[in-house]
Amino acid sequence: MKALIHWLGNTELSTLIKTVTWIIPGVQVIHILAISVVVASMGMLDLRLLGWAGKRHSIAEYASRFLPWLWGALLVLLASGSILIIGEPERSLGNLVFQLKMALLLTAVAVTLGFRGLLVRDLSAGASDLRPEHGLAAKIVGGVSLCLWVGIVTAGRWIAYAG
Amino acid sequence: MSTLADTLERLETTRLATAISESTWAFPTIETVHVLAITLVVGSIAMVDLRLLGLSLRRRPIAELLVEVLPWTWTSFVVAVASGALLFASAATHYWGTAPFRAKMLLLALAGANMLVFHLAVQRRLPAAAAGDDSRGGPGAAAKLCGAISLCLWIGIVGCGRWIGFV
């Protein structure tokens, strides 16, 4: 990891990102806007899974409405996050809070994909929505996902202060 | 002007404000709450704006979307204002003097004005067709303009907010 940080920090791209003063703040703004999209759309979906909002609509409808925004915004986050990492590899890769954030992120993606798999299986087996026997699983996914995204944003902000 | 300077100084020397500025964890913690609240404010407003622009949720009636989303927007906006006020109090004189803070407040006021125009004038004149499915006609130019202005202003507000941390 140390070698990677050292190598990244000495690339021309890294120097460019560090020396042009507006790149890091500008990219951070894009990063925050994209996380807004994730938190709002996953918030809607998770609250629906928990049964706390949007109960007039089916889970399938909510998933097809909001999951594309998650994947799109995740791409933007990955791209903008990569630029920030290349610019300041020591601040991010070498930071324990950053590593925690990545672990939470991978868990959130895995949980979401797991839920999506369950839904797709139910739908392709002829159900009109997530099967009622998967209701508890949906609630757990909603609660866990909500906590994970709050944790990801929290860890993201704390990279600047701790680790 | 001296009264304003006095007020700012009195604000940042309150016990609460000094507690925040002297603590190592208080500021980052409040800031985290502020960022989380803003993601909800901006994300939920963007949903409405994109709907007005006809870029997403086109089969959803606008009125229904507003009823469903705006309570979350307002709740998180209250949290954002309260946490923002605490952050501001911790170094009131400094923040007041910075360009991005002033720009952010100006953009917030404009976003508020745009919202009032939408709710008081545009929303009630939405074509009946737009109350439902956009395939029978969109929400019209005025609503689209409100959506576009709102989206730009909120992007600007996030930008200025982040910029405050760099001056």
CB neighbour class for A25 (10 Å; exposed up to 12, middle 13-18, buried from 19): middle
Does residue A163 lie in a domain region?
A: no
The string of pLDDT tens digits covering residues A68-108 is 999 999 999 999 999 999 999 999 999 999 999 999 999 99
- Nearest chain B CA: its distance from A134 CA (Å): 25
The gap between the terminal CA atoms of chain B, to the nearest Å, is: 23
Select from A38, A144, A81 the least CA-distant residue to B36: A38
Does residue A19 lie in a domain region?
A: yes
Q: Chain A residues with CB inside 8 Å of B44's CB?
A: 40
Mean model confidence pLDDT for chain A: 95
Mutate to test the interface with B, among A31, A39, A58 (most CBs of B within 10 A): A39
User: Phi and psi dihedrals of B137, rounded to 5?
Assistant: 120, 135
Does residue A44 lie in a domain region?
A: yes
Confidence (pTM): 0.91
| pLDDT exceeds 90 at position A15 | yes
Q: Which domain holds residue A104?
A: 2-158
- So what's the ipTM on this one? 0.87
Q: What's the domain count of chain A?
A: 1
Number of Cβ pairs closer than 8 Å across A and B?
Answer: 64
The string of pLDDT tens digits covering residues B64-91 is 889 989 999 999 999 999 999 999 999 9
